[in-house]
Amino acid sequence: MPATAPNLPRRFARALARTLLGLLWLALLALGALWAWRQPFMERARTLWELSRMPPPATLPVPVQSVAPRQVADTFGAPRGADRRHEGVDIFAPRGTPVTSTTRGVVVAINDRGLGGRQVWVLGPAGERHYYAHLDDWAPGLAEGDVVEAGAALGTVGNSGNARGTPPHLHYGVYGSDGALDPLPRMRAVR
């Protein structure tokens, strides 16, 4: 006992120092993670996480400037050729009319191909994917990975893809986990 007793305070002090050092490391790691999470390069990841936790929007604005919901015809599900159905709505407007995002989201694809021609895909709340097609052009500087707010410019109305030769219009589609959803009821729910 007399031989070991004087060592106890020193051992305790060393253990305390190790514990404090460990806590300091943890605090630094947490601060680093917090810092990274708030950096612009993490904005996409943070937004995707937030979007995945949001409910699907109850209403959707018309994504073409100056077009009212009642001006949009109910053509969702209409036959298109022998084996296709219309998986969205067509919103007619003069060529060059701004097309805007209906929701907050992340631009996941910008393509010029297939039926849709010049198109933008935005991943919005609750995993719903919003499809904007037949664009005349894309909004300047728009890039895949961009975080967009509702109302952000995506492009302009045109008739690219299989709409070539028809009056300019935006084809707007919404896809959930089970496939195409009719966006018109939610557009008409806007008061």
**Would you say 31 or 73 has its CB closer to Zn ion?**
73
**Would you say 90 or 146 has its CB closer to Zn ion?**
90
Distance CA 104, CA 47 (A): 9
| Two structure tokens written together for 107 | 């631009």
| Two structure tokens written together for 55 | 């409910």
**Would you say 54 or 175 has its CB closer to Zn ion?**
175
**Would you say 130 or 171 has its CB closer to Zn ion?**
171
Tell me the closest approach of the beta carbon of residue 60 to Zn ion, in angstroms.
Answer: 16
CB proximity list for 190: less than 8 A, separation 6 or greater: 59, 60, 61, 62, 69
Positive/negative CA dihedral, 179, 123, 97, 63: positive
Residue 86: DSSP 8-state = -
Instruction: Name the site residues for Zn ion (rule: CB under 5 A).
Output: 90, 171
Tell me the closest approach of the beta carbon of residue 142 to Zn ion, in angstroms.
Answer: 21
Q: What are phi and psi of 47, to 5 degrees?
A: -65, -40
Q: What are phi and psi of 124, to 5 degrees?
A: -105, -160
